[in-house]
């Protein structure tokens, strides 16, 4: 074939290919176009999904290294007054002894009165409903059983009359409601006035028992750790209702000191009262690992303890409110790595303790 003929054929082939491609592009259906766009979008979004896989792999390795260099104390909420565990490099986990059982007795007594009130309050305005009767009959039987057994339970003898008064008041109130076959706001108020002062007493004794126990545990652990205490981490879990004046965190803070708060001592919010030790280990490891990332990328190890976009979102909120002719309502800015308590700290008017309530 002559060179000119080959060149002519090649040019014709390219023109034909371009024509077919252009025609295909013109005839591509909207469905195909959308599928292509979706695929492009997913290719980017998948990076975030893949990030979690990489994150989990790296986090497991980091946790192993972290625990091989730092002792860690976990303080976990429980119905028995809490649990504490000490993780020490190269040693088995040490589980602290439980809070004395009198704590559970006092708590159970106080909760019994609260449980009664919950049922009554749910049915107080339901005049045609007797759904309260069966559960209160059962609880009366349980209350009388506990009252009859009280003399056999070991406790501080000065506390026993108060526990008995509460249980007896519970029994009398339940008997009254069942004998009347009705619930009334007046009877509930009388019940509350009668039990309130005694409930405040047993709440105080329970707190005293819990705090004394955990301080004894931490006295020993701090002495055992010696110089390693200064590189020890601590963490406690909480849900919203227990965040303010969290007992385990507050006790830990007495030993870690102000400079450790939000640094080596953390209060980790959760979605339930109880949290597994492994979940807490993961949370602490994640925080410590993110601090290294924050330092590498932004020069501040505490930055990633907070919502990373929070500062820019704050500026955006202020700008958007200005567009609307209104002033933004936001808390004051605090520095990354603030050592203030992770709870409400601004004083103001109003009752602050049970003793303030009349």
The answer to whether position 204 is within a domain reads: no
Q: What is the pLDDT of residue 6?
A: 42
Residue 351 lies in a domain: no
- Would you say residue 16 has pLDDT above 90? no
Whether residue 240 is predicted with pLDDT greater than 50 in this model: the reply is: yes
Q: Does 186 lie in the same domain as 241?
A: no
In a domain, 266, yes or no: yes
pTM of the model: 0.85
Would residue 332 count as lying in a domain?
yes
For 266-298, the pLDDT digits (tens) are: 999 998 889 999 999 999 999 999 999 999 999
Q: Return the pLDDT at 14.
A: 44
Q: Which two tokens stand for residue 44?
A: 């980017």
Q: In the chain, pLDDT over 90 holds for what percent of residues?
A: 72
Q: Are 149 and 220 in contact (CB under 8 A)?
A: no
First to last CA, the chain: 111
Q: Which residue has the higher pLDDT, 321 or 127?
A: 321
- Report the 3 state secondary structure along 269-299: ECCCCCCCHHHHHHHHHHHHHHHHHHHHHHC
Closest CA to 171 of 102, 246, 109, 129: 109
Q: Which residue range is the domain that position 285 belongs to?
A: 61-98+232-342
How many structural domains compose the chain?
2
In the block, residue with structure tokens 């981490």: 233
Residues 68 and 153 in one domain: no
87 with 130, same domain: the answer is no
Tell which residue, 250, 225, 337, 235, has the closest CA to residue 281: 235
d(CA 103, CA 156): 11
pLDDT, position 191: 97
What are φ and ψ of residue 126, in 5° steps? -100, 80
Query: 186 or 21: which carries more pLDDT confidence?
Result: 186
d(CA 353, CA 356): 5
Across all residues in the chain, what is the average pLDDT?
A: 90
Bridge pairing between strands 233-238 and 94-95: unpaired
Are 273 and 127 found together in one domain?
A: no
Structure tokens, 164: 């008995």
């Amino acid at each position: 074939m002559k060179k000119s003929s080959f060149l002519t054929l090649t040019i014709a082939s390219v023109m034909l290919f371009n024509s077919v491609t252009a025609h295909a592009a013109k005839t591509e259906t909207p469905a195909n176009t959308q599928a292509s766009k979706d695929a492009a979008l997913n290719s980017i979004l998948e990076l975030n999904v893949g990030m979690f896989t990489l994150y989990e792999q790296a986090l497991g390795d980091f946790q192993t290294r972290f625990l091989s260099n730092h002792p860690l104390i976990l303080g976990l909420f429980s119905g028995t007054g809490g649990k504490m565990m000490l993780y020490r490099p190269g040693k088995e986990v040490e589980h602290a002894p439980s809070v004395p059982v009198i704590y559970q007795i006092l708590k159970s007594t106080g909760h019994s009165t609260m449980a009664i009130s919950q049922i009554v309050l749910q049915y107080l305005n339901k005049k045609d409903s007797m759904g309260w009767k069966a559960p209160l009959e059962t609880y009366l039987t349980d209350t009388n059983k506990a009252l009859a057994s009280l003399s056999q339970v070991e406790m501080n003898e000065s506390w026993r009359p108060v526990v008995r008064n509460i249980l007896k008041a519970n029994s009398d109130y339940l008997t009254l409601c069942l004998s009347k076959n009705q619930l009334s706001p007046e009877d509930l108020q009388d019940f509350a006035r009668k039990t309130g002062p005694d409930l405040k007493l047993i709440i105080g004794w329970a707190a005293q028992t819990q705090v004394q126990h955990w301080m004894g545990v931490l006295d020993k652990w701090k002495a055992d750790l010696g110089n390693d205490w200064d590189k020890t981490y601590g963490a406690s879990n909480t849900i919203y209702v227990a965040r303010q004046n969290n007992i385990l965190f507050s006790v830990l803070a007495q030993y870690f000191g102000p400079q450790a708060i939000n640094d080596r001592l953390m209060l980790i919010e959760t979605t339930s009262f109880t949290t597994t030790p492994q979940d807490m280990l993961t949370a602490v490891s994640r925080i410590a690992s993110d601090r290294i990332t924050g330092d590498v990328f932004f020069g501040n190890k505490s930055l990633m303890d907070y919502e990373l976009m929070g500062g820019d979102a704050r500026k955006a909120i202020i700008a958007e409110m200005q567009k609307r002719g209104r002033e933004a309502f936001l808390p004051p800015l605090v520095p990354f790595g603030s050592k203030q308590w992770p709870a409400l700290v601004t004083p103001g008017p109003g009752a602050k303790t049970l003793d303030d309530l009349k």
